[in-house]
């Protein structure tokens, strides 16, 4: 498993291609938007979420990524903070299960 931070995946060509793919596919979950709207009166309120996905290229890539979302007016802005690449499907599934059953702050996984 390797985690690539925002500054690296934005400037490295190979990682940026993957980032662009993830960015195009990402959708803000309805419950995230609901939480942001309910807390819009709190200046600077953001929600940090961890998402798990597999990218159907050959070979298949198993990743998770962390987003930081906030709302301004009627628009939700999403900032991608990091992307983690897993060595195989088993490592990916184990990490996903750990995050789903964790009570640590910041380990809340988006489930659509």
Structure tokens at 91: 């490592």
> What pLDDT digit, counting tens, does each position of 44-89 carry?
999 999 999 998 877 889 999 999 999 998 899 999 999 999 999 9
Give the per-residue pLDDT at 104: 62
Give the per-residue pLDDT at 99: 85
Supply the pTM of this predicted model: 0.84
Q: Tokens 């990682």 map to which residue?
A: 15
Give the per-residue pLDDT at 107: 47
Nearest 5°: the CA angle 51, 9, 61 is 50
Closest CA to 22 of 57, 48, 70: 57
Q: Domain map of the chain by residue range?
A: 2-100
Cβ(54)–Cβ(62) below 8 Å: yes
């Amino acid at each position: 498993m390797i985690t690539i931070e925002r500054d690296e995946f934005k400037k490295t060509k190979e990682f940026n291609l993957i980032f662009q793919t993830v960015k195009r596919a990402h959708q803000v979950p309805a419950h995230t938007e609901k939480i942001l709207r309910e807390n819009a009166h709190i200046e600077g309120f953001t929600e940090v979420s961890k998402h798990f996905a597999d990218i159907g290229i050959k070979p298949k890539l198993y990743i998770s990524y962390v987003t930081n979302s906030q709302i301004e007016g009627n628009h939700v802005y999403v900032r991608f903070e990091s992307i983690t690449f897993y060595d195989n499907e088993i490592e990916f599934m184990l990490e996903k299960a750990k995050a789903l059953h964790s009570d640590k702050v910041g380990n809340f996984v988006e489930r659509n």
